[in-house]
Amino acid sequence: MPVPLRTDFDAAALRAIARQTKDGPQARRLLALAAIYEGATRTEAARIGGVTVQIVRDWVVKLNAHGPEGLINRKPPGPPSKLTDAHRAALQAIIEQGPIPAIHGVVRWRLVDLIQWLWEEFRLSLSKQTLSRELRAMDYRKLSARPRHHAKSAAAVAAFKKTSRPVWRRSPRRSAVSRSRSGSPMRPGLDRRTRSPGAGPNAAPALQPRKTKGQPRPTSLEQSARLRAKAWVSSCPAARPRA
C-alpha cells in the first residue's frame, strides 16, 4: 500500500512553492508530488519526475517528515568523528603541558608524536590529515622551525659579528640654522621669500623682442627718404661732358 501524503498541503500549495523556489531538483519533486495530490498514480508521478517509483516513495516520506525543505539536496554528514569530547580534552591538556624530552624523546609536539600518543593512550588510529583538521578546529596552528644549514658553524658566526664599538658619533643638534623644505641648510637672508607682482602661474607672459635673420629691416622714415632721393635723381637732366 502506498504511503499517504500529509493533509496540510495540496496541489496548489506545492505548485506555488515550486514557482518560487530557485532549486531545480526541488521544483521537479514538488511538481511530481502535486500530481499525486490531483489524483495521479505513483507511476505517473515517477514519469513526471524522471525517476522510479521507489524514489517517489522516498520523496513522500521526506515531505511528510520535513515539509518542502526536506526535498532539497543536502550534503551528507559523513562518518562520525573518532575523537570524543573526552579525547579532545585530554589532547588539549597534553598539548598545553608540552612534551617531556626524557619520556617522549622530543622537545616539541609533532603530528606524528600526537598520533602515537593517541594510540598509546586510547588505541585510536588517526591520519595526519584528520588530526591536523581536529587541531585546527581546536584553534591550534602548526609552527615551522627556522631552517638551519647542516654545515653552519657557531664559532664562525661569532667571529663574523662585530664586537667593537662603532666609530661614528651623533652630530650636534642645529637649532639656530633653518632648513629648507628639501632639508639642506639655508642662509639667513633666504629665509624670507618675496613674490613679485608678475610672478605666479596666472601672470601674463613678458613681451620678448622679435628676432629677425640677417640685417634689420629699415623703418618707414628711412624707406620714404630713399624713395624721395630716387625721384630727385630721375628728374634731373643728365650731366654733359665739358668741351
Evaluate if residue 72 carries a pLDDT over 60: yes
Tens digits of residue pLDDT in 10-40: 999 999 999 999 999 999 999 999 999 999 9
Task: Look at residue 214 in the predicted model and tell me its pLDDT.
Answer: 56
Evaluate if residue 7 carries a pLDDT over 70: yes
Which of 134 and 230 is assigned the larger pLDDT? 134
Task: Look at residue 128 in the predicted model and tell me its pLDDT.
Answer: 92
126 and 118 in contact (C-beta within 8 Å)? yes
70 and 59 in contact (C-beta within 8 Å)? no
Which region among 43-47, 127-131, 209-213 has the lowest average model confidence (pLDDT)? 209-213
Task: Look at residue 243 in the predicted model and tell me its pLDDT.
Answer: 46
Task: Look at residue 114 in the predicted model and tell me its pLDDT.
Answer: 94
Which of 87 and 188 is assigned the larger pLDDT? 87
Task: Look at residue 131 in the predicted model and tell me its pLDDT.
Answer: 93
Placement of cell 502535486 in the chain: 34
Evaluate if residue 61 carries a pLDDT over 80: yes
Q: Choose from 68-82, 156-170, 201-215 the range with maximum mean pLDDT.
A: 68-82
pLDDT confidence tier of residue 47, bands split at 50, 70 and 90: very high
Evaluate if residue 58 carries a pLDDT over 80: yes
What is the chain's mean pLDDT, rounded? 80
Evaluate if residue 226 carries a pLDDT over 80: no
Tens digits of residue pLDDT in 140-196: 987 777 777 878 888 888 887 766 566 666 777 765 555 555 555 555 554 455 555
Q: Which H, E and C letters describe the chain, residue by residue?
A: CCCCCCCCCCHHHHHHHHHHCCCHHHHHHHHHHHHHHCCCCHHHHHHHHCCCHHHHHHHHHHHHHHHHHHHCCCCCCCCCCCCCHHHHHHHHHHHHHCCCHHHHCCCCCCHHHHHHHHHHHHCCCCCHHHHHHHHHHCCCCCCCCCCCCCCCCHHHHHHHCCCCCCCCCCCCCCCCCCECCCCCECCHHHCCCCCCCCCCCCCCCCCCCCCCCCCCCCCHHHHHHHHHHHHHHHHCCCCCCCC
Domain ranges across the chain:
11-71, 85-137
Burial of 34 (0-12, 13-18, 19+ CB in 10 A): buried
Task: Look at residue 151 in the predicted model and tell me its pLDDT.
Answer: 84
Q: Could you tell me which of 116, 117, 111, 108 has the C-alpha nearest to residue 133?
A: 111
Evaluate if residue 198 carries a pLDDT over 50: yes
Task: Look at residue 147 in the predicted model and tell me its pLDDT.
Answer: 78
